[in-house]
Amino acid sequence: KAGVTQTPRYLIKTRGQQVTLSCSPISGHRSVSWYQQTPGQGLQFLFEYFSETQRNKGNFPGRFSGRQFSNSRSEMNVSTLELGDSALYLCASSPDTGQGREFFGPGTRLTVL
Amino acid sequence: QQQVKQSPQSLIVQKGGISIINCAYENTAFDYFPWYQQFPGKGPALLIAIRPDVSEKKEGRFTISFNKSAKQFSLHIMDSQPGDSATYFCAASTGGYNKLIFGAGTRLAVHP
């Protein structure tokens, strides 16, 4: 099976702009989670979607949002970008919810100038 | 508390030696404890995981030891190889949702 794919792999934006990142889970996986990785804060959970419903949300401002489509593909959106949003954004998929077996994609490196 | 505390921050081991990374948690509701390995430019890859009903799990050269009463768990890498040089993250989650709480990571360097 193909792994989790994320597009784009690299992105450069300026403050105030918005950005949309895309994630395609492993075939058959219905749960998609998003994480932010930074040198200072490490890996932090953003949100999880299962069957197009947000199941859980981390402690991030409302500028961070996401959605999941009927084919389990997911997008996350960050509006009004700030310098501190520069990070590696990781998507993880799981065949089910609640079991913790998450498989990560390579991430999207977002740089905000 | 949702924190998972990981130590050491960095570790240098000689080829063939044993690498040991420790994690401690506070939330007794955690019931799944995975370890992830991350190489530069890659996403974390699931290495091995344990649930609190067992005290040890071994997969090849990787072993998790789990101490429920002390709320601690550790990763042992036997016969460490230069190819094991990477950053290792412990994590924990509670049943019902895929929400991993990660430790800060340990950068392991295995010298030949």
Inter-chain CB proximity A94 and B98 less than 8 Å: yes
CA distance A58 to A62: 11
Cβ atoms within 10 Å of A4's Cβ, excluding its own: 21
* Model confidence at B102: pLDDT above 70: yes
**Is the CB of residue B11 less than 8 Å away from at least one CB of chain A?**
no
The rounded distance, in Å, linking the Cα atoms of B109 and B19 is 10
- Reported confidence tier of residue A100, pLDDT bands at 50, 70, 90: low
- Asked if B40 is an interface residue toward chain A (Cβ–Cβ < 8 A), one would say no
* Mean pLDDT score of chain A: 93
Q: What is the pLDDT of residues B4-21, one digit of tens each?
A: 999 999 999 999 999 999
* Mean pLDDT over each residue of chain B, to the nearest integer: 93
pLDDT of residue B66: 96
